[in-house]
Amino acid sequence: MNKTTKGAIAAGAAAVLLAGGAGTMAAWNASTNTTGAGTVTAGSMAVSETTAGTWKWVGGSKAGQAFAPTDKLVPGDKVAYTSVYQVTLNGTNLKATLTPTLGNLTGSLKDADLLTVSPSSTNVSPITESGPISFTTEVEFKANTTGQVGAAGTATIGAGTILLEQTLTP
């Protein structure tokens, strides 16, 4: 016998031994089509300013009253800008954090470092349902200002942003 024939016989014998050692070789199978599992829909979320913000005095003789464009700040005064935002959450297990970012402050009062501008709360977390959320930003003319520093000065607070961001639930 030549080498090729011997190799073929050996391979056939090995296949018979392996098949015999593995038990019965089943060749049957069955399958069916599924009816479809349905539709999966993603949720959503949104935030929008519902009303223009308002300025009010914080402390002093005019506490709680509207801050008019003709009013003038002096050292130690504090005013607050409050705006209401509508948060819409649409999704099972959806939670979010709402974070304000203050606008750019410009002007001579800023340049002289006479104002402190800060949000009264840095975020509302976690928000678990739709509804209105109120944010307040406070502006204070630093009380330790002396002499006539900042007299007749101005400052402008540019538009800020409100970020609504999903909080992942483990």
Q: pLDDT by residue (tens digit) across 26-83?
A: 788 888 888 888 899 999 999 998 988 889 999 889 999 999 989 999 999 999 988 8
CA dist., res. 25 & res. 46, Å (int)? 60
Give the pLDDT score at 157: 82
Tell me: pLDDT of 145 over 80: yes
Contact 143, 80 (CB under 8 A): no
Contact 134, 83 (CB under 8 A): yes
Give the range among 7-11, 24-28, 154-158 with minimum mean pLDDT: 7-11
Q: Give this prediction's pTM.
A: 0.65
- The two tokens of residue 117 are 């501008």
- Percent of the chain exceeding pLDDT 90 equals 42
Going by pLDDT thresholds of 50, 70 and 90, the confidence category of residue 21 is low
Q: How far is CA 74 from CA 60, 69, 79, in A?
A: 11, 14, 11
Going by pLDDT thresholds of 50, 70 and 90, the confidence category of residue 7 is low
Of all helices (H) and strands (E), which one includes residue 7? helix 3-21
CA dist., res. 100 & res. 164, Å (int)? 9
Give the pLDDT score at 98: 85
Mean pLDDT in residue range 138-159: 90
Strands (E), 5-104: 44-57, 78-90, 96-101
Going by pLDDT thresholds of 50, 70 and 90, the confidence category of residue 144 is very high
For residue range 102-117, list pLDDT tens digits in order: 778 899 998 999 998 8
Which residues is 97 bridged to in the sheet?
Answer: 165
Q: Within its chain, how far is the Cα of 81 from the centroid?
A: 22
CA dist., res. 118 & res. 31, Å (int)? 66
Contact 120, 64 (CB under 8 A): no
Contact 120, 81 (CB under 8 A): no
Give the pLDDT score at 119: 77
